[in-house]
Structure 1
Amino acid sequence: MPRGPVADFFLKDYELADYQPDEADFAREVRQVEPSGSSSALGGLVGTLAGGRRGAQTPAASPGFGGLGGAVTANLYDRAQRSEPLPKEFELFALALPIIATDPNQGPTVGMLPVGVFKEQTRITNILAPDVTYNEIAGYGAIFRLRRAFSRDADLLVDAGTSTEGNDDYQIQYRQRQVGPNRAIYYTAQFWYTTQLAQRFYGIGNETEDDAESSYVFRRTLARGLLGFELPFDFNVELSERITSYKVGPGRLDDVASTKAAFPDVPGVSDGRISILTHRVALIYDSRDSITTPTQGIFGRFTYELSDSSLGSDIDFQRFGLQLTVLIPKFKKKLTSVVNFNGWIMTGDKIPFFELTQLGGKNTIRGYGQGRFVDQNGYAINFEERWNAIQYEIAGVDIVVQLAGFIDAGRVFAEGERFKFKDTKIAAGGAVRVVVPDSELVASIDMGFSDEGSAVFVGLDYPF
């Protein structure tokens, strides 16, 4: 795609210098000829010193340099030798992929995913990945996806799609790091509206039976703002506000009971629309070598979240959270061992089930569907071994194919129930991931197995 104001906004990496047509053309010509020692013929002392050190483009050009012009041209030539000039157009790599996926709640989905990957030099700056799909529950659907990397410290995510049965997903999120005094401030702004047609609920507790399955339609509107401050010694402090509107609708599946009929007395099921405003503070320690594609280091986060009716929320509760992730590289980062722990404690009365601690899904126990086990408190621990099996280059971009094996375990607890390992839920499985280290991108397919069967999760990030 040719450069221009519009193309630059969507495709340029703003960490790189602006495109200079004259310099780029000069650099291309330089690369077509051999340097010559006759550059010492540059006129004037400055030209002689500058040109003599660097070499001129051609012997014939030497007499024409002269004086300060020789220094300027020689400096331009020096930059041309040291760095590849930016191309006149943004490079595009395009392909179309079939979609054959399955979701524990929604079942199999088939379709087509055309992908357009734009890059500047070796940096991926934009990914367009719309898709057209068919699912028995959602019907025919289409979604537009954009992942825009303005630089390593700024990115934009846009999703917009719906289906014939009303499965909606609209999201926009912007993240910016290293701004303000000492470049120590970062922030995130997000808006998300989603309608999920086949959410599942099995009741409250760690021992809910698989045959107690029910379904509901879940509508959620969320707005979130986060402000972070980088501190010395790899510590951060984050302040965030979240306002979320929820509504639970009757299930639409013929062969699964509706949650509204099966669990009418569970908080959140029959309460109509609920709005929750939370205020959260987090203390973070992060020594990882990358935020999105880490290979070594430690990540720790302690959070406190408050929802208070006197401050505008419909529900009162407090939530304490702890996450600890340790990455240990081996054999020159060919293998990476990962240990991840999450723990949650909540206090409050009549907390809606969708705000309680939930286990099951890509980020907790991958052998169960999203939110399979629900209660006030809980923990999850994950052990994962990542192997960089294949490394290759496509269109000048380094690609890593990564294989992983994992064991996940966790349990939920009622309020006041003491901590114990008995009846811990366990799952094991593997993952295939495609990693683009230089652009910090990950595409992942994780498949887990448990006593209730298997579950597959597809995403554009690591689970932890």
Structure 2
Amino acid sequence: MQRIVLLLFILGTSLLAACTTMVPREKLPYPITDASFGDPVKVVTIPLPVIATSPNEGAILGGLTAFLLHNARDEVNTLIAPQVNYNANFGTTFSLYGAFFPLPNRNWEFNLSTSTKVNEDYEVRLRDKTFLDGKLETNAFIYNFTDGSARFFGFQSDSRKEDETNYADKEYGFTLGVGYDIIDHLQLVVGERFRQVSIRRGAVSKLPSIRDRFTDSQVPGINGFTAHAQKLSLIYNTLDSRDMPTRGLYAKAAIEGSAEFLGSDASYRHYEAELKGYFPLKEARYITVARVAYNQTLGSDVPFLERSILGGESTLRGYGRNRFIDSSYFLCNLEERIRLFRWSVFDVNTDWEVAPFIDLGAVMESLDKTRSKNFEFNPGIGFRAVVRPNIVGRVDIGVGNDGPAVFVGLGYPF
């Protein structure tokens, strides 16, 4: 708890060091600004320390500077954040993150990152729901990354900490989706996904490499694989906001198929079901958020990273990414988002939230073979800084059987 207090103190002190400047718009060309900005442009500059840790990556220390550009309505429409940090496994990492919100129904973001050892990340994500009077939504995600911190423990819920291995997950690919609003709140989505994966030696020298402990007969995909899949989803959505909902329901059912004759290394199917609810009290000062999700993978020789996976900042927050892998999973998340206070620093209104949570989930061969002993119970607490309508910074601390896990990032976990 003393570390958490220290972190919040450092964060608060950094915000007090922020400054606001007015920059002529001609010096901030498109896409940094667009027609929605006034002239001059208000730019709020906030230096922040980077003090993070996660089960897979370990401790990260460094600093970033966030540049928040306000449009003519005094909303944050552009975020640019260069960052430099150090990690014992990856050395020094240089990165540049950008998020752009030119319209309420159009946004895009990018991340460019490279380390002096193993890690790199280049990705672009776009969303546009302005076509056909807002009835047609397009999404695209293009990426190329290498994660030298990846872990594999074995399959099933009883995989052991003693069997932990490390590898470098090197991938490139894309995900595309086109959705059409059939009626109010109901959307049909057609998706296409391509994924090329290479498995290399990781950056964590204290752990054995994945191929030192497992073989390709035990773990399909351990020597790399290609996945090319097509997806059909039906989504019911009454949320009042896409990025920061305070009320409403979200339900999704999806089926995805991967076929060898279309370029995949194996043929298999994914089935997904998810239900989320947001229930506010006292003018949304308290928001109860609940999620239930089920995922099933059917097929033979399914690559291990294409199966049903739990662990990480958006599922079981008491464990690192990809901690549990099997043919299916069942997941429940419950958290209470509590707004402690609203603080305005240099005319940037920020909601400071605390969010106690419980994550409950299990992987299994199939739902009918679920046993109570398979489930992992992860209590925890989150701290969030929210700049509406589109930016969330968060720290989530979960506790699992392997010990505590801390995740630092952007956006709500679900």
TM-score (norm 1): 0.81
Residue deviations 1:34-54 (CA, integer Å, cap 9, x gap): xxxxxxxxxxxxxxxxxxxxx
1:240 maps to 191
Helix, strand or coil at the partner of 1:302: strand
Aligned-partner residue type, residue 2 of structure 1? P
Structure 1 residue 149 corresponds to structure 2 residue 101: yes
Matches within 5 A, 1:186-335: 186-264=137-215, 265-271=217-223, 273-335=224-286
Structure 1 residue 450 corresponds to structure 2 residue 400: yes
Candidates 368, 382, 387, aligned match of 2:338? 387
1:358 deviates by 0.9
Distance in structure 2 (CA, Å) of the matches to 1:174 and 1:423? 38
2:15 maps to none
1:399 deviates by 1.4
Residue deviations 1:410-432 (CA, integer Å, cap 9, x gap): 11112586233333111010001
1:394 deviates by 2.9
Distance in structure 2 (CA, Å) of the matches to 1:269 and 1:178? 39
Distance in structure 2 (CA, Å) of the matches to 1:262 and 1:296? 47
CA contact (8 A) 1:226 1:238 kept: yes
CA contact (8 A) 1:320 1:346 kept: yes
CA contact (8 A) 1:263 1:269 kept: no
Distance in structure 2 (CA, Å) of the matches to 1:147 and 1:219? 24
CA contact (8 A) 2:342 2:351 kept: yes
Structure 1 residue 3 corresponds to structure 2 residue 25: yes
1:410 maps to 361
- Number of matched pairs: 390
Structure 1 residue 343 corresponds to structure 2 residue 294: yes
Distance in structure 1 (CA, Å) of the matches to 2:161 and 2:232? 36
Note the aligned Cα RMSD (angstroms). 1.6
1:3 deviates by 2.2
1:122 maps to 74
1:252 deviates by 4.1
Matches within 5 A, 1:16-27: 16=36
Gaps of 5+ in 1: 17-85
Residue deviations 1:37-78 (CA, integer Å, cap 9, x gap): xxxxxxxxxxxxxxxxxxxxxxxxxxxxxxxxxxxxxxxxxx
Residue deviations 1:264-303 (CA, integer Å, cap 9, x gap): 13334543x4111010011001101101101111011111
Structure of higher CA gyration radius: 1
Helix, strand or coil at the partner of 2:31: helix
Distance in structure 2 (CA, Å) of the matches to 1:361 and 1:432? 17
Which structure carries more strand by proportion? 2
CA contact (8 A) 2:117 2:203 kept: no
CA contact (8 A) 2:157 2:363 kept: yes
CA contact (8 A) 2:328 2:367 kept: no
CA contact (8 A) 2:165 2:213 kept: yes
Structure 1 residue 133 corresponds to structure 2 residue 155: no
Which structure carries more helix by proportion? 1
Aligned-partner residue type, residue 121 of structure 2? D
1:173 maps to 125
Work out the percentage of aligned pairs sharing the same amino acid: 25
CA contact (8 A) 2:119 2:145 kept: yes
Residue deviations 1:77-115 (CA, integer Å, cap 9, x gap): xxxxxxxxx742110000211111101111001011111
Aligned-partner residue type, residue 147 of structure 1? A
1:232 deviates by 1.7
Larger RCO, structure (CA 8 Å, separation 6 or more): 2
Helix, strand or coil at the partner of 1:11: coil
Aligned-partner residue type, residue 331 of structure 1? K
2:111 maps to 159
1:183 deviates by 2.3
Distance in structure 2 (CA, Å) of the matches to 1:403 and 1:454? 18
Distance in structure 1 (CA, Å) of the matches to 2:385 and 2:130? 27
1:113 maps to 64
1:123 deviates by 1.2
Runs of 4+ off more than 6 Å = none
Candidates 349, 355, 359, aligned match of 1:398? 349
1:73 maps to none
TM-score (norm 2): 0.91
CA contact (8 A) 1:360 1:372 kept: yes
Task: Mark the CA change 1:5 to 1:279 in structure 2 (over 3 Å): closer, same or farther.
Answer: farther
Q: Which moved more, 1:152-161 or 1:400-409?
A: 152-161
